[in-house]
Amino acid sequence: MGKVIHFLFCILISNSILSLAQEDCSSYNFRNNEIYATCVSLPVQNSNLHWNYHPTNGTVDVAYRHTGVSTSTWVAWALNLNGSGMLGAQALVALPNSNGSVQGYTSAVTSYGTGLQQSPLNFAVPAIRAERLNGDVLIHATLVLPGGRTSFNQVWQSGPVSNGAPGAHALGSENRNSLGTVDFITGQTGAGAAVGGSLLHRRNTHGVLNAVSWGILMPMGAMVARYVKVFKVANPAWFYIHIACQATAYGVGVAGWGTGLKLGSDSEGIKYTSHRNIGITLFVLGTLQVFALLLRPKPDNKYRKYWNIYHGGVGYTVIILAIINVFKGLDILDPEKKWKHAYIGVLISLGAIAAILEAFTWFIVLNRKKEEKQVNGAHGANGYGHSHGQPA
Ligand SMILES: *[C@@H]1O[C@H](CO)[C@@H](O)[C@H](O)[C@H]1NC(C)=O
Ligand SMILES: *[C@@H]1O[C@H](CO)[C@@H](O)[C@H](O)[C@H]1NC(C)=O
Ligand SMILES: *[C@@H]1O[C@H](CO)[C@@H](O)[C@H](O)[C@H]1NC(C)=O
């Protein structure tokens, strides 16, 4: 009980600190004493949206304010009329000039490769200007809201300026989560659009499936093959445990791989080349292992030795590539640090167990060899090695 109260207290304290740190947007004083009736602090990217909505003519005067912006950063805020996120965004852009002023213009985003070139929006913007003030960048604009609508998906973003033009923005979690809804009448905003939310959900599913299958189950299955078979009583049980482990890992892994392919085809314009290529290599090698199992020579076949080397070599390659790819995926997904720490913790535990079992295995094998020598010279079954009785 005490622990629970302590925990709740910690949450309370950290929440209060958070809300103190988050500046109240309504206390902001505009330079020309403009008064905006409504404002919201957007959840990520240090951004605020201020506005006056005029019901008589369906226009809204907005001021998008992005705080703490460097002089080599563009910022943009957009409504997305028919979709959500970046594609279809009707953007107001602020681009710094080399002379220190900031240029405000509109840009309709039609592709992920956009350079945010100036273009008209699919609603009228009778006025737009941008300014830089005490490290903040502000975009002031009047929007003629289309079709009497007052509720929209919104998206906002910032990125580097290269050669005087907007460059591609980063893909960290702040950049991916800067979307939501805004209602100019009620002043209500929602975080994350439905599409963005479900996309994030699918990315997480992809991450969990693959981290558990390729990243945890497969190394465990390999450890079973290497360390359990040394126990004579565990023969042939180790073989079936190994198969069960790897078959489960492969099944879940293929499902995870499929979600990755779908994510890739749904995220046109966003490419994680090395993560993708390693993933495809893993699928190919993993599938080879399944066929290798079906085609394995009998234990006393003279080629079995080479098959063992091949099977082990591909197996270790898969494990190393899988671990690398889990870390690459964690960097892309950029979840809370605790997930990366948890995975590192699992790897360290598996590594420690493997080290102990490795030492133990050598101890047993060497002991057995000694015994065998004492009993009948070099003849007899060796407890560890390539020819150890697998059911064929
Ligand atoms: C819309 O109406 C408001 C006040 O009702 C007025 O201040 C504003 O200039 C009008 N805007 C346009 C574009 O007509
Ligand atoms: C977006 O939806 C509006 C109606 O809400 C329609 O008039 C317009 O053509 C659509 N634009 C696109 C690009 O689909
Ligand atoms: C800065 O440069 C832009 C174009 O590069 C120009 O339109 C603007 O007038 C300049 N501003 C000042 C204060 O010189």
Q: Is residue 386 part of a domain?
A: no
Instruction: State whether 168 and 42 are in the same domain.
Output: yes
- Is residue 194 within 8 A of residue 349, CB to CB? The reply is no
Neighbours of 44 (CB within 10 A): 17
Instruction: State whether 205 and 140 are in the same domain.
Output: no
- Is residue 40 within 8 A of residue 48, CB to CB? The reply is yes
Quote the CA–CA distance of 210 and 324 in Å, as a whole number.
12
Half-sphere exposure of 26 (CA within 13 A, CB side): 5
Determine the pLDDT at residue 233: 77
Q: Which of 175, 192, 209 is the last residue of a domain?
A: 192
Q: Which of 192, 210, 236 is the last residue of a domain?
A: 192
Residues facing residue 49 across a β-bridge:
40, 64
C-alpha 295 – ligand 2 centre gap (Å) = 58
Place of tokens 């093959």: 225
Q: Is residue 11 part of a domain?
A: no
Instruction: State whether 127 and 250 are in the same domain.
Output: no
Instruction: State whether 156 and 214 are in the same domain.
Output: no
Instruction: State whether 188 and 236 are in the same domain.
Output: no
Ligand 2: which residues within 6 Å by Cβ? Answer: 81-82, 147
Q: Is residue 201 part of a domain?
A: yes
Determine the pLDDT at residue 18: 39
Going by DSSP bridges, is the β-strand pair 102-108/89-96 parallel, antiparallel, or unpaired?
Answer: antiparallel
CA 62 vs. chain centroid, Å, equals 33
Q: How far apart are the first and last CA of the chain?
A: 57
Name the residue range of residue 53's domain.
20-192
- Is residue 336 within 8 A of residue 228, CB to CB? The reply is no
Residue-wise over 112-124: b if at least 16 C-beta within 10 A, else e? eebebeeeebebe
Instruction: State whether 157 and 69 are in the same domain.
Output: yes
Q: Is residue 178 part of a domain?
A: yes
Residues facing residue 78 across a β-bridge:
91, 155
Instruction: State whether 179 and 69 are in the same domain.
Output: yes
The residue contributing the CA closest to ligand 3 atom 7 is 103
Q: Is residue 258 part of a domain?
A: yes
Quote the CA–CA distance of 121 and 88 in Å, as a whole number.
10
* Mutation test residue for ligand 2: of 82, 84, 110, the one with most atoms within 8 Å of CB: 82
Instruction: State whether 117 and 137 are in the same domain.
Output: yes
Position 112, amino acid: Y
Q: Which of 167, 192, 217 is the last residue of a domain?
A: 192
Report CA Rg, the chain. 30
pLDDT along the chain (392 residues), means of 10: 40 38 73 88 91 92 95 95 89 93 95 92 96 94 92 93 91 86 83 52 85 93 88 83 92 92 71 88 94 87 90 94 93 77 94 93 88 66 43 43
Quote the CA–CA distance of 309 and 110 in Å, as a whole number.
53
Quote the CA–CA distance of 74 and 270 in Å, as a whole number.
20
Instruction: State whether 232 and 361 are in the same domain.
Output: yes
The domain spanning residue 288 has which CATH number?
1.20.120.1770
Instruction: State whether 35 and 114 are in the same domain.
Output: yes
C-alpha 97 – ligand 3 centre gap (Å) = 7
Determine the pLDDT at residue 281: 95
Instruction: State whether 139 and 235 are in the same domain.
Output: no
Element (DSSP H or E) covering residue 106: strand 102-108
Instruction: State whether 223 and 165 are in the same domain.
Output: no
Quote the CA–CA distance of 10 and 100 in Å, as a whole number.
44
pLDDT tens digit sequence for 239-256: 888 999 999 999 999 999
pLDDT tens digit sequence for 310-347: 999 999 999 999 999 999 998 877 666 788 899 999 99
- Is residue 128 within 8 A of residue 64, CB to CB? The reply is no
The domain spanning residue 47 has which CATH number?
2.60.40
Domains identified in the chain, total number = 2
**Which ligand gives the minimal distance to the CA of 56?**
1
Determine the pLDDT at residue 392: 42
Quote the CA–CA distance of 117 and 100 in Å, as a whole number.
20
Quote the CA–CA distance of 143 and 121 in Å, as a whole number.
10
C-alpha 71 – ligand 3 centre gap (Å) = 15
Q: Is residue 388 part of a domain?
A: no
Q: Is residue 175 part of a domain?
A: yes
Answer whether 0.75 is exceeded by the pTM: no
Q: Is residue 341 part of a domain?
A: yes
pLDDT tens digit sequence for 368-390: 888 888 876 544 444 444 444 44
